[in-house]
Amino acid sequence: MPLLSALAAALLLAGCASTHGLAPQGRPLDPDRLASERSVGAAAASDAAFPRQDWWTALGDPQLDALIREALAGTPGLDAADARLRQAVAQAGLADAARKPSVTGGAQYSGLRLPETVAPEPLGGRYSGVAMLSLSLKYHFDLWGGDRARWQAALGQARAAEVDAQAARLTLSAGVARTYVALAQAYEARDVATAERDRAARLLELGRQRVRAGLDNELQIRQAESALAGAEQQVQAADHEIEVARTALAALLGRGPDRGLDIARPALLKAPTPQVPAVLPSELLGHRPDVVAARWRVQAAQHGIAASKAAFYPSVNLSAIAGLVAGAGSLGDLFGRDAALLQGGPALSLPIFDGGRLRSQLAGSDADYDLAVAAYNQALVDALREVVDALAAARSLDAQIASATQARDAAQRAWDIAATRYRAGLGTQLDVLAAQRPLLEADRQLTALRAQRLAASIDLDRALGGGLVLSAPDTDSASDLAKAPTP
């Protein structure tokens, strides 16, 4: 009864530290209200599925598959993400341990000699020692759920860190695939540049022959020399791009630059037809790691507010000590019946005046929640934007590739006609070389467009979550706190 009476009085006095007027302002977005049907258009298909976890295999190059597997086996970036996860799990473990009783054993010896100037005999002038063996128990009663809320907040952060580790793997695989596409483009660009160099060299040779025959002047030779030097520069630039891409791939694999020298020329990569599931945007929430991690952080911040509110209420702590005590001169009695020591009982504490510390702590928790909600809302908006941007890029590049292919086919037919006329004695080699230039330019454009189209496919797979299926908290539970009245 005395404890209950004290608790009731404490609840009345706790009103001195009030949460009145403090509440979070953030509201999580409803994904179904983010209209995207018209932007996605015909690319949304009811039978379309989210990417597989090995989405990169659709590009059709076994060497790329092996490189991504090697990268995912371990890199410094992934090691850092895994370490952050272990750190978050450890913090959750500490928060969970704080909810449980603790028992500590101890052995202590202490002695004291009081001078006679302070205390007369028999206390003064004599040395006395005490030996003690003890077990101490401490336990905090979580009456208002504050300890549980802190543990749930730490657990939410750990789950967010786990999703971040998955996001790091998705980012790494997409980076390897994109760099591999850049390597393939560099090889194809070198092929075109080499063909242009050969054409320029042949043109220079013909120019010199025509000058010796008196059919042309030095102007044609100088122009051909300039074209040859420009073509040589393009070959050198392509060689440099190959070296840069190889070095970048080696770094993404967590290896030294020599690892890139062992990477062979990529095979002919395929760009899949862009499609997205018709269940966007709601189903996207369970596949995008950044969105899922943001939702876990919203829930963690929600529990942080609950923990801050619990601090406004009284707390009850239980402590007890059981031990054996004996004087230094009678250690043999340490395990006797009369040496037993027992001390313990509950303790009640409550905030009355703290200079605004608790209100500031709650205001900070409210702000943390608002920041987490804003990050979640932004992640959701960015996720839809990245999907639509990748779709739009793929559709546009498909159209550009079709037009560029038509132009290339026309240039090919023109070159074939010039070659036929030359073999029939109706044209010259200059006509053939002149017709070859637009053909090589068309090849250069197609090389760049196809690389961009492959990059758009990679971006789309990444924007759709890369085949990840992640557990996420219920969105409704994350907004319950914002809807609830503030005490």
Model pLDDT, residue 477: 47
The residue type of 202 is R
End-to-end CA distance of the chain: 28
pLDDT > 60? residue 487: no
| 475 vs 264, more confident | 264
Task: Say if residue 99 is exposed, middle or buried (CB neighbours under 10 Å; 0-12, 13-18, 19+).
Answer: middle
Query: What is the pLDDT averaged over residues 279-298?
Result: 82
- Report the range of poorest mean pLDDT among 173-177, 197-201, 369-373, 447-451: 197-201
pLDDT, one tens digit per residue, over 59-93 is 889 999 999 999 999 888 889 989 999 999 999 99
- Report the range of poorest mean pLDDT among 16-20, 55-59, 122-126: 16-20
Query: What is the pLDDT averaged over residues 29-49?
Result: 62
CA neighbours closer than 13 Å in the CB half-sphere of residue 40: 23
Tell whether 55 is covered by a domain: yes
Tell whether 7 is covered by a domain: no
Model pLDDT, residue 24: 79
CA-closest candidate to residue 192, choices 414, 433, 441, 451: 441
Cβ neighbours of 92 (radius 10 Å):
21
Model pLDDT, residue 486: 38
Tokens of 342: 């027992």
pLDDT, one tens digit per residue, over 370-417 is 999 999 999 988 988 898 888 889 889 999 999 999 999 999 898 888
| Long-range CB contacts for residues 246-255, cutoff 8 Å, separation at least 24 | 246/183, 248/179, 248/182, 249/67, 249/176, 249/179, 249/180, 249/183, 252/71, 252/75, 252/172, 252/175, 252/176, 252/179, 253/67, 253/70, 253/71, 253/75, 253/176, 254/71, 254/74, 254/75, 254/76, 254/77
Work out the percent of the chain whose per-residue pLDDT is above 90. Answer: 34
Cβ neighbours of 194 (radius 10 Å):
16
Query: What is the pLDDT averaged over residues 334-339?
Result: 71
List all residues 6 or more positions away from 284 whose beta carbon is below 8 Å from its beta carbon.
Answer: 31, 291, 383, 384, 387, 464, 465
Tell whether 404 is covered by a domain: yes
**203: containing domain:** 13-115+128-483
Distances (CA, A) of 476 to 223, 302, 376, 479: 71, 12, 14, 5
Say whether pTM exceeds 0.85.
no
Tell whether 8 is covered by a domain: no
**Pairing of the two strands 315-327 and 127-141:** antiparallel
Tell whether 409 is covered by a domain: yes
List all residues 6 or more positions away from 292 whose beta carbon is below 8 Å from its beta carbon.
Answer: 163, 285, 286, 470, 471, 472
pLDDT, one tens digit per residue, over 168-192 is 999 999 999 999 999 999 999 999 9
Reported residue count of the chain is: 487
Model pLDDT, residue 483: 43
Tell whether 4 is covered by a domain: no
- Torsional sign, CA 417, 423, 425, 431: positive
pLDDT > 70? residue 47: no
Tell whether 5 is covered by a domain: no
pLDDT > 60? residue 359: yes
Cβ neighbours of 476 (radius 10 Å):
9
| Res. 240 pLDDT band, cuts 50 70 90 | very high
pLDDT > 90? residue 247: yes
Q: Looking at residue 425, which CATH number applies to its domain?
A: 1.20.1600.10
Mean of the per-residue pLDDT values of the chain: 83
| Res. 332 pLDDT band, cuts 50 70 90 | low
Model pLDDT, residue 111: 81
CA-closest candidate to residue 369, choices 309, 296, 285, 305: 305
Tell whether 2 is covered by a domain: no
Cα angle 214-216-220, degrees, rounded to a multiple of 5: 145
- Torsional sign, CA 379, 383, 389, 394: positive
pLDDT > 60? residue 292: yes
CB 223 within 8 A of CB 208: no
List all residues 6 or more positions away from 216 whose beta carbon is below 8 Å from its beta carbon.
Answer: 207, 210
| Res. 479 pLDDT band, cuts 50 70 90 | very low
The total number of structural domains that make up the chain: 1
Model pLDDT, residue 485: 38
